[in-house]
Structure 1
Amino acid sequence: MCGVSVRYHFAIMKLLLLLAVLSVGEGGSSRKVAGRAGGSVTLPCSYDMKNRKPLSVCWNRGNLPVFKCDNVLIATDELSVREDSRRSSRYQLLGRLDQGDVSLTILNVTESDAGQYGCRVEIPGWFNDDKHHLDLTVDSAPQTTTSVNSETSTLQKTDTHTAGHMNATETVLTSSFSSVIRQQESSSVTVALVSVMFGLIVLVTVGGVVILVRKWMRLHKVRQQQLNSSIQFSSTLQLQSRDSAVENIYQIEEGVARGV
């Protein structure tokens, strides 16, 4: 009877020790993540796909329990999201699930989203799950409106300085207008100079072409004259040779007649 009681107490002590170890393991350190209201924030979580096959993952709002997730935001069945587990369309897994990236992205963050989150990667075996805890803090969105009193005081301050601001504005506008006029005048002068230079270049080019054409025509005329002179000279030589040949024939015929 005493031995049974000892064994019973020993089993209770082992159970209590196991629960204590589990509670310590579940409540470990958390990673801090900051977001801004109205934007989006990503809570990182991943596992090594090189040494493991695709695993199931669940995201929990609050501290992770001993097993599974008791406040599921979104979960995966290996490489696909279980749509029946998605609590809201604001919760997205935008990472590469096939590479072990199961980070949770929360869209349109609100201040109520601040708090603790848990990512559980379910690894086969007893108490082998890979757990990640993250604490999200949300900064308030910048205010776009002011109170009536602040608007009134701002308007009063604006009225007291309106004249000075108007004078400063007029001065700035006058100086800007003057600078624009100067820029336009300098641009006009530049355009005029470019136009004059272009006209001079065109005139010089045309004059050069005219001179070259005239020289070519003169040279062509001289060559034509030389060619005509050579033709006339050759014609004269031919006529003279014909006349000499005719005279020789007459002389020969007269000599033959006399001899007869």
Structure 2
Amino acid sequence: MRVALLLALLTVGEGDGTKVKGRTGEDVTLPCHYDVDTHGLLSVCWNRGQISKNGCWSLIVEAEKTKVTEETRVSNRYQLLGRLDRGNVSLTILSVTETDSGVYGCRVHIPGLFNDEKHHFDLTVDTALLLTTSTPVDTATSPGTATDAHTSGQMTSSAASAVLTSSSASSSMTSEDTEEVSAVAVALLCAFFGFIGLITVGGVIVIIARKWRQLKVPQPLVSSSLSTLQLQSRGADENIYQMDEGVYDSCP
């Protein structure tokens, strides 16, 4: 019995302020245990700051045997994630910040007068350092590294400049070619429409000239002479016919 009591005192005895360090954004666990086989399931409270003799006056979370008393939890960042049924009542603070730095106390309520055991923790939260992907170059141990890096940088810059120059030249050549093609197309269109216009004007001029000639040239005299001759011939024929009738009428 005395050996079991000694083990229990060593397990849940009051600590001297165990120092715990964390970084901002990380989860930090403050360990606290008691012997279930010796004491059975007990109640536990976590306090911000030093624990008083009568209880947790600055309570942040409390557990009654295997169940967390939710109304006592001041923030969801305070979690009891251990196996409460095995006496693991460690406190886990999620995503710690610099304001979480300070003293925390774990109090295990053991039945009997002045039997409660207390553990204290001094939490220090440091600012997390930003990780960089670049590797520093030690010029003292590798003198050729800096020169090689500088040369490589120059080559890369030269290659990039060459690519940019080539791209610019290609762009300018493309624009010039486009302008030339456009100018040729415009010239061809102008020549085509000019040719059509000349043909149209020439046709109109020919038609006007023909009409003008028809109006200026007089009717030929041959047609009038022919008409006169035809009339005279017709009159002569009629006279001959009349004379013949008269001759035949005078005969006995």
* TM, length-normalised to structure 1: 0.47
**Structure of greater Rg:** 2
* TM, length-normalised to structure 2: 0.48
